[in-house]
Chains A and B, each alone.
Chain A
Amino acid sequence: MGSLRMTTPRLMALRAFLDDPGQERYGLDLAVQAGLEPGTVYPILVAFETVGWLTSREEEIDVHAAGRPRRRYYQLTAAGVTAARDALAAAEKRRNARAGSRRLAW
């Protein structure tokens, strides 16, 4: 299981996934829920999938009947849930530490 450098958009995506860890989401749906710019979400999803935090599957539809291509649904793995919680906790800790150091400076 790999690790990732955490950026604000990645943390936003993880927070959205953790709102309901068992739910499968497609890219646009997740971007909207996370408050990300639609269109920027796929590098985040691929990064998470590459380190095993997400699994994905192709939607099972008749593309001609649906009139659009298949979507890909993403879901947190068990390791992904743990990693996401750890990453958010670490980010929260850093933010608190920064806030604390500012208070000391004042």
Chain B
Amino acid sequence: MVTRAMPTAGLPLLERAAVTALARLLPAGFRDRQRDEWTADLMTLASHGAAVRWRYLLAAMWTLPTLRSLVRSGRAGGPSGAVAAPVALALTARVLILGLGWPVMSWLFGVALRYVVYDVPARLEAGMTFDPKDLWPTDGVWVALTPLWIMLSLGAWAAVLGGPFLIGSLGLVATVAGPLRRGQSGRQRLTAALAGVGALAFVVGFFVLVGLFPTVLAEPGDYLISADARSGVTVGLLGVASIVFAAKARALAGRTRAALLLVGAGAVIVMLAHHVPLGVSMNIWFMD
């Protein structure tokens, strides 16, 4: 269980313990929020004497079953914004949505959509004079769109090749976007950044090892990469994980779960594209 660091030094030990005990009886996604509210109130009441603060705590204890029941029913499907997801859960959701969503959306827009919109098969048959995937405005003010083109290209490559490239995408997002999420303690930000750096280090290590020991590792390394590029297993597994996560993590906000579902469904489509002739043609056209 991840808990938020908070300054409670001004609160007597016994009162702090009482607040912690009361908070423990609330649903996990709401616990930190309510503990902070009670603690801040008690610290405001510091000058009113211990009797006033204990009366406050008794009143909170008295109404705790109602509060618990309301929070649980709100979570069960009411229009509630009251339940905040635990930080670790929300962080995992963010990494999946951005880290998997980036390659998946890049593939959908940068590969599949362009393949269909530009009718690439017809152009190929007609002896294509230019490749639509090279169409990108770079003149004048359009140069501002270059970062978008780079993002789309890198994301699409990660979706097509899968394996370490997808892990790299998740790692990059965890490193950059993870620590920037609001409402985290310094320790949680550091944990997110370290997890991301760890994933990136794994990917870099994989390629360095293959490069250092080409006679031993090049063949299995290449096999691993090309097998995933053929099957799309990693993107498929991550997509299924994203869908299951959306279904199970009820403490997450509705829109976060919807985003997880969308990204998961998109990832499964990318995986399926590795196994149908049209999808394979799209990928070959993109990589060619």
Which residues of A line the B interface, CB within 8 A? 1-2, 26-28, 37-40, 42-43, 46-47, 49-52, 55-56, 58, 63-64, 66-72
Contact = CB atoms under 8 A, between A and B. Distances in A.
Given A42-B60, A49-B82, A69 B36 contact: yes
Contact of B67 (A2, A38, A43, A68): A43
Contact of B36 (A38, A40, A46, A70): A70
23 contacts: A27-B37, A27-B41, A38-B56, A39-B38, A39-B55, A39-B60, A40-B63, A42-B34, A42-B67, A43-B63, A49-B81, A50-B82, A56-B81, A63-B7, A64-B7, A66-B7, A67-B7, A67-B10, A68-B7, A68-B10, A69-B6, A71-B36, A72-B33
B40 to A, nearest CB: 5
A27 B67 CA distance: 14
Interface in B1-56: 6-10, 33-41, 43-45, 55-56
Contacts of B214: none
Contacts, number: 94
Interface residues of B, number: 37
A37 B60 CA distance: 9
A12 B43 CA distance: 25
B137 interface: no
B66 interface: yes
B183 interface: yes
A10 B177 CA distance: 41
Contacts of B39: 68-69
Given A38-B56, A39-B57, A46 B71 contact: yes
Contacts of B41: 27-28, 38-39
Interface in B224-262: none
Which 9 A/B pairs are nearest by Cβ-Cβ distance?
Answer: A39-B59, A69-B36, A50-B74, A39-B60, A39-B56, A43-B66, A69-B6, A43-B67, A28-B41
B213 interface: no
Contact of B43 (A1, A43, A47, A68): A68
